[in-house]
């Protein structure tokens, strides 16, 4: 277990079926087509939908600039079977002094229900705990978004309650279901059950293979 944090930025990650990597300008069309413009994908997301291709291009430009900071963690999720950008995974609300962050992810509808979100989330958690040294990772989803709750629980996260103050979202007031996973809980789970294969492609990693 790592007891200090060492920010590594958005290092490329590899799972059995996915590649998680940094966004590039070439991702704009696939992002817009597959998920970034879809109202249903954004139904339970706090970020704003990107209805126009130029919205996506501006978003990517912002991320390319943000990648200059080592504490930026935002991955394009790419399906190896067809090379399509099918979604994103990210660590937000990074607090270096507390060694905590919030896990978030989203996929295009075409790829729902196939285990891809779980696979991507597991890879990000492995990287966050085993290489960066986070102490605790949080997760949350809007009440009613049970798909996301299933993903978080499948990753070993524990439900810790519901947010006290609902927020206004797409015409209704919604609360959050809150989850968390500590490094100790992660290590215990890691040694008591198998996890999906995860490779870190970051060059010169001290440990670059996980089973």
pLDDT tens column, 151-193: 999 999 999 999 878 888 878 888 999 999 999 999 999 988 7
The predicted structure's pLDDT at residue 163? 87
Q: Is residue 6 part of a domain?
A: no
Q: Which of 119-133, 138-152, 184-198 has the lowest mean pLDDT?
A: 184-198
The predicted structure's pLDDT at residue 168? 84
Q: Is residue 2 part of a domain?
A: no
Beta bridge partners of 172: 169
* pTM of the complete model: 0.89
The predicted structure's pLDDT at residue 204? 34
d(CA 163, CA 177): 6
The predicted structure's pLDDT at residue 165? 83
CATH of the domain at 140: 3.40.630.30
d(CA 182, CA 133): 11
* Domain total of the chain: 1
Q: Is the pLDDT of residue 95 over 70?
A: yes
Provide the residue range defining the domain that includes 160: 13-203
CA dihedral 78, 39, 138, 69 (to 10 degrees): 60
Q: Is residue 210 part of a domain?
A: no
Q: How confident is the model at residue 194 (pLDDT cuts 50, 70, 90)?
A: low
Beta bridge partners of 181: 137
- What would the mean pLDDT of 2-25 be, rounded to a whole number? 96
Q: Is residue 70 part of a domain?
A: yes
Angle between the 146-154 and 116-127 helix axes, to the nearest 10 degrees?
Answer: 50
Q: Is residue 4 part of a domain?
A: no
Q: Is residue 1 part of a domain?
A: no
- Mean pLDDT (the chain, rounded): 91
Q: Is residue 51 part of a domain?
A: yes
d(CA 159, CA 181): 9
Q: Is residue 5 part of a domain?
A: no
Nearest alpha-carbon partner for 90 in 109, 71, 108: 71
- What would the mean pLDDT of 137-160 be, rounded to a whole number? 96
């Amino acid at each position: 277990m790592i007891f200090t944090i060492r920010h590594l930025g958005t290092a490329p990650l590899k799972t059995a079926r996915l590649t998680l990597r940094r966004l590039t300008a070439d991702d704009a069309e696939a992002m817009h087509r597959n998920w970034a413009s879809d109202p249903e994908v954004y139904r339970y997301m706090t970020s704003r939908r990107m209805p126009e291709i130029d919205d996506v291009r501006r978003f990517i430009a912002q991320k390319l600039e943000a990648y200059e900071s080592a504490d930026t963690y935002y991955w394009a999720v790419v399906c190896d079977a067809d090379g399509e950008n099918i979604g994103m995974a990210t660590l937000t609300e990074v607090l270096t002094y507390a060694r905590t962050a919030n896990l978030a992810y989203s996929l295009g509808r075409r790829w729902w229900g196939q285990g891809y979100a779980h696979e991507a989330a597991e890879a990000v958690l492995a990287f966050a705990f085993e290489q960066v040294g986070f102490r605790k990772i949080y997760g949350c989803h809007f009440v009613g978004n049970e798909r996301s709750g299933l993903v978080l629980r499948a990753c070993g996260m524990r439900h810790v309650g519901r947010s006290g103050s609902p927020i206004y979202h797409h015409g209704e007031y919604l609360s959050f279901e809150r989850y968390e996973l500590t490094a100790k809980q992660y290590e215990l789970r890691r040694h008591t059950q198998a996890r999906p294969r995860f490779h870190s492609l970051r060059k010169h990693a001290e440990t670059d293979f996980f089973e």
